[in-house]
Structure 1
Amino acid sequence: MRLSPTSLRTRLLLLVAAAFVPAAMLTARNIRADREESLADVRTRLARLLAQADADNDAAIQSGRRIVATWAEVPDVHSGTPAECAAAFARLARFAPAVASPTRININGVIDCGGRTPGSIGVNVANNPLFQQVLASDSAALGPYIAADSTRAALVPVNMPLRDSNGRLTGMISVGIRLDWFERLTRNADLPPGTLATVSDSSGLLLAHYPASPLVGKTRPGLAARFAEDRKRGAEERGWVVRNTLDGVRRLVSHERLQSTPGSLVRVAVAMPPEVAFAEPNRRARVRVTLLLGTALVALLIALYGAHVVVLRDVDVILRATRRLGSGDLSARTGLDDRVGEIGQLAQSFDAMASQLEHRQERMRHAERLESLGTLAGGVAHDFNNMLTAIVGSADLALTHVPPEHPAHDDLLTIKSSASRSSTLTRQLLDFSRRGPLVTRPERLDQLVQESAALLTRVVPATVSIDVHTHSHRLAQVDAGRIEQAIVNLAVNARDAMPQGGTITIALDDHDVTQDDGTPVPPGQWIRLQVRDTGTGIPPEVLRRIFEPFFTTKGAGEGTGLGLSMVYGTVQHHGGHVQVDSVVGRGTTVSIWLPATSAEHFATASPPSVSTPLAATVRVLVAEDQPEVRLLIKRVLERAGYAVQLAADGNTALHMALSQLDSSLVLVTDYDMPEVRGDELALALREQLPTLPIVLMSGFASDGWPASLVGSPGVALVEKPFSPDSLLQAVLAARQ
């Protein structure tokens, strides 16, 4: 049986193997914990061992102090002849087996009794600092430790001044106390093979070593460096470290400082190989790993067989049905309706998917019809704008000739007003086709909120009340329609969150934000619009996604998932910020922060007077495919004194302009025209005459015009429907 890396069988086996990952991690954790516990046990054991060694050393030194104090009181020792002193030493030594090399030094600093060797007699130590220090004191003092040799253990000298029966200073006595505890330590501690035990001082002198070593009594520079290293890391008194010992072997090293002379540092250390410390944990680790691998192997074999019997046979049936469906056979079914569990659900889902394919195709056709409807709506809005332009313009022209008292004056005003209101319908159609512009102007948001609240009474049930609190009197540069739609979207969501009824609160207030306010917006003047409800609230996992397009928690057919994303996009386009706070079971508050502005900030220069005298030589070339709009523009411009040329399409306008292209020409062009569009016409003429004044007309958003054209000097924009004054002002603005 072959296993493909991408086959379901392989993936199932990998899944089973992955199921053992936690067990492997737990096993590794247990092994690590076992090793750490064993290491802790070794540390504790060595610490106790070294503490006992330190205590034994202190006891030996204390015993030596008592011995030397007792011997110093013996007359033959402090006042006898060298022979009498030697006899006294021999006699006293029988009762003090721990003492070695007793020595008497007379007041002149000459060794006259005892000594470590026969050659010590007569040696002068008067200049030895220790000799001078002992004579200056009245108590026992330690001397430097003496390394062991082949005949005896290491010694620690204990020294004391000698005085005769009259209290007169006669010299000094020094006795060496054998470090017998070191031998007991290495003999009774049952140290594992490969373990080292040493006594050394900070100069690098090796005083004692287990097992026996020829290096005892020699100074090792590397040993002195270890003392300095431990001093730097604060482990001078006692410590624990894993390091290479002087023989190059990596060991666990524990050390303890011993009592010594002031200014010197002597310590005992035990170094144990890690494999000795971890021998038992390693054995248990091998057992654990073997058990884990064996269990995993058995599980994989069971999974391999079970996957084929329980899962893969049915999966193959589903795959065959899928291939048939992919080849165009819409009658393909799995025939596994009697299966239970996930495989049964998969088969049923496949069959349901195949059954719904025709329905989905119908929905796709419906979506295509909606797209076509949007395109149609944009075209209708364009044509409707052309008609409204002719109606509004003609009404304006007629009003200039009809006095207010004339009976037709009010009728003309009604025609103009109705046509102007109809432009709102074209804007909605353009929004539906996504061709509508974002038109902003300074607005009082308190008035906008009140108007929106009035609209909401038609969309909320009687069980939901609406409270409006407006405390803002600032202006904001907004598209009123978009902000109103955002308020309605938020209110509808709030309504849906309160199926049993509740309260929607719309609050508006001004804020002067400083650096430390904790608000989500930078310092400045802001207007905060809040929509609060007393509904069910939003869970945290949903709250993170509410602004995602097409994300909705509503049932099928109850929401598009675009409402809040449109709110977010609208606020972002206005330079604002959206903040959502929600508590499950208590309600939700959506805060919209919009930057405040002032009327003065948006005040523009007064438009040029439309009655400005014009040179008779100024020619205006009008490119417009709608005859009623074209004729209206001709009438408006001719009444203002312009010479007007008309072209019904861009190609005709291009030939007419090129035939007489000079500085007296002004181009007024629509965007959508047959053959040559308005932007193509304007760019072609600008190549020939870069200073050509151009007025751009369109019923769509100005986004259709190239940015290089709109942003250049001598270009003015006018949106349909426009009044005669707006057209004349645009012509003058382009020429100026």
Structure 2
Amino acid sequence: MAGLAWRPGDGRRTGKPASCGVSVRLDPGEGDRDVADGEDVAAGGRGIAATMPAPASLRVAVSNRPARTSSSALGVRGRLLLAAVALLLPPLLGGALLLGGAYTRERRVAERHLDETAHMLALAVDQQLGQSQAYLRALIASPALAQGDIVALEAQARAIDLPKGYWFRLAAASDGRVLMNTALPPGTPLSGGQLGPNLRAALETRRSRVGNLFNSTVTNQQAIALHEPVFRNGAPAYILSLVMPSTEFTQLLTDQQLRAGWIGAVVDRSGVIIARTRDPERYVGQKARPEFAEAYAKQSSGRMPGVSLEGMPTIVSFRRTPSQDLVVAIAAPRDELGREAWRGLLLALAGAVALFALAMGLALRLARGITYPVEQLAARAAALGRGALVPTETLGLAEADAVAQVLADASQRLARSSAEQEEKVRAAVAEAESANTALFQAHRMEAVGRLTGGIAHDFNNLLQAVSGCLDMLLRRAPDDRSRDLIRAGMQAVDRGAGLTRQLMAFARRQALRPEPLDVADLMRTMRQLLMHALRADIVLEMVLPQGLWPAMADSAQLELALLNVAVNARDAMPNGGVLRFVAENVHLAPDQTEDALKGQFVRLAVTDTGSGIDPAVLPHVFEPFFTTKEVGKGSGLGLSQVYGFARQSGGTVHLDSVPGVGTTVTLFLPRAAAAPRRPSAPAEARPADRVETRTVLVVEDDATVSATVSASLRERGFTVMQASRADQALALLQDGDTIDILFSDIVMPGGMNGVELAKVARLLRPDLAVLLTTGYAENLPPLEGMRLLPKPYRMDQLLDALDALDALD
């Protein structure tokens, strides 16, 4: 409620002493900026290079403050100024005291007026309640009520000419059961009712009581009720209530015509706003601030500073109504109280300032004729501080002329020094701008990666559902033509899966399988593949030195990255050329790469002799879907896969290009701590007539994927149980049914992911085989020995993975 609560204001004053002595100043052109001793001039941080453009000039300046002399006596100008201040200070202080007293009196008068207004409003609200109580007592005196004839009583109640929105309600004193309600049409069945706190209080105190604000379900508006207990033979018989809309009290406050800017409000016992002059639709029904509620709970009247619900600082005066425990409050803006006194104070202050300025002007005019030579020296010292040349004209005073000559010589020396410093600062600014550009590009690539990773994740689930459906159709195809069409669809799914893998690679959300790799052996194995990807007019060269470290990376993704680089190089050499692969061991320091990598890495540099890349295009080459090729000749995902793979592997990728000369793409992969493992023997082919007896629990929140995978497994003889959430899967595991394999998605709703489900399942069933799957590898928890099948997968891949679980067991 506006004006009915307060919070203490606070203010802070901070200060920093001005720097004296020598400083460095940058002149960017239209304005000056002084940089105090010790401020960072290097690139970055809050230094000059991070906040200023390339400066037009750099000058070394001295303070404009006149140099101290060895004498402690005041000069002529200082003595004249001190005399003027001494003459003006007593009358200024006396006037300030008088104005302060006037302001205090004016404020007290305004506060008394605020209190009187609150008191009068409380009486008006009480009078309004008194009129309502008269309606109740007139109806209580009815013989029909004494005889218990509710029908006759209701007829009399409906005949009373009540204000609009008012209605009677009669309840039994024993249990609060509603006996009459004139807001409803005659004959409407009545139900419900109970003895609330206010009804019980009216019975216990044997006097009328105003209830709290409530939302009436009958009239669909906010209202309050005045309850009057009815006794027969000394015992409580009924409670007769008159319900009044809260708008009646808002209108009552509005009719008082408060001053502009003042806010009036009425609050019930529970601290809820019943009526308000400003924005009643917004604030009626809300709680008053706790500070205000605490204040009127302790005292029946008072005044305090506060802040309105609109955020306006106010002074609040409140009064409790004489006959009921309603609180009426008036809030006035703080700056309005004592405004006239402030106006007089400001006028007097302006006159004092004008008088003081006049006195100072006369004193300065008198001093000028005496201090002219000294001022000229000070002006020339200030010119020296700004970097300007000091004039050599004489001042008519031998000592002043000697000092002027020294200043002129110093200005020449400083001009030469400023040129050198300006060049250093310009270099620092250029370095800072380069660092800011690199940081912006890194943030931009990260944002694009998040977007593409999210799209690829959703697309993987769609591809998985399509792949499962096509697999089921293939098994049911009646002829070769149908099977060829289905296989074409499956090939399209594979191409879509390839695109999503490249998107996930750029976004660094693919499920990598890093392992120690013999890079030289991998590249020799790839030679034939690369030759097929290139043309006959391109010469392929490989430089693979002895003693090359093993790299820690996913072999399949590394092969794809090198192939993507090779294809881009081929397209950049339409007339043929040389494609050269060079591998070597490197030690990186943080300042050697933009990514601040540190440690031992295997560097793979791929260089072509093609057309090169336009410098304007270079910042975008790693962005997904960006390509300079014709429509239909490039997806724009090749280099984005290389970028994502390198960063997710713990390394990075750099691209250098010179138009007309060629391009070099350099991959940095971290050195593996262990030696490469030898390839294992190929797994035996799955028998076509194998009879399955295993039971698989499929846990997948995507209904389409779950249905297609489960149906395919059942066709191959598996017994399949399905669950869409981890808690459902745990319930099935605890039922005691035979379950051989848990096949679960990792990302699921419900608070428990697939990895956590597998850990709990193994505690319940230690012999349970577990296979996990996911189409989204960001923030993947440690699998701790569990196998992972990335989405989208084909059914033969799923069957091979399930068979591999048996081999592992």
TM surpasses 0.5: no
Higher relative contact order (CA 8 A, sep 6+): 2
**So what's the TM-score if we normalise by structure 2?**
0.35
Larger radius of gyration: 1
Q: If the length of structure 1 is used for normalisation, what is the TM-score?
A: 0.38
